Amino acid sequence: MLALLQVVVTLIAGLLLADFASGVIHWVIDRYTPGSTPVIGTHFVRFIHEHHERPHAMFQLLWVVNNAGFFILVGSLFGLCCAFGWLNPVTLSAFAFGACANQIHAWAHRRPRYLARIVRPLQRFGILQSPRHHGVHHGASPTEHYCLITDWVNPVVDRLDLWRRAEVGLSYLGLKPMAYARPNPNYVVPTATA
């Protein structure tokens, strides 16, 4: 019983760590990474920037194209962790969930009828990010709700005002955030009928 509890706690810790890391990556790309950045600009950053203009364009791409950016990024960090001996059950769990971040994000844009049965209840409990939760980032508050995996981390990060505080801190170093993403009152959260 104790071993099972340990596994569950490890998985949840990895899930939350991966969710926060997905928020950091998303925030850096949204606010500080131009599409003209060498190497990652064309094949990773532009997809994410364009996603704010046309959220459903991702469904016109091959599955592997949609997920390749996170796979490569997470794979590279995994290699670094291996090299420095930082792998443990929690970071392993975080890498597993982190590699799925953009797929979980894509599910938050899908109408329920297109989702596998197992996804819908997980979204309902916020274990996987729900369409309504992710809709906050695409709708009223594009500078909040950067984390992509669950419904649990964003409220804490946003309550702490972490992203804005970090931007104020970075502005003292001369780094100004980009301001291309605007609130979109017309964003429609996918539902059974929408």
* Positions in the binding site for Zn ion (CB under 5 A): 30
DSSP secondary structure string, 77-125? Answer: HHHHHHHHT---HHHHHHHHHHHTHHHHHHHTTS-GGGS-TTHHHHHHT
Which residues does 150 contact at the CB level (< 8 Å), separation at least 6? 15, 16, 19, 126, 127, 128, 129
Gap between the Cα atoms of 122 and 32, Å rounded: 32
Task: Pick between residue 81 and residue 181 the one whose CB is nearest to Zn ion.
Answer: 181
Where do the DSSP E strands lie in the chain?
Answer: none
Q: How far is the CB of 25 from Zn ion (least distance, A)?
A: 10
Residue 20: CA count within 13 A, CB half-sphere: 12
Q: How far is the CB of 106 from Zn ion (least distance, A)?
A: 8
Q: How far is the CB of 9 from Zn ion (least distance, A)?
A: 29
Task: Pick between residue 19 and residue 30 the one whose CB is nearest to Zn ion.
Answer: 30
Q: How far is the CB of 95 from Zn ion (least distance, A)?
A: 22
Task: Pick between residue 95 and residue 163 the one whose CB is nearest to Zn ion.
Answer: 163
The number of beta carbons lying within 10 Å of the beta carbon of residue 83 is: 9
Task: Pick between residue 56 and residue 124 the one whose CB is nearest to Zn ion.
Answer: 56
Q: How far is the CB of 48 from Zn ion (least distance, A)?
A: 7
Task: Pick between residue 8 and residue 178 the one whose CB is nearest to Zn ion.
Answer: 178
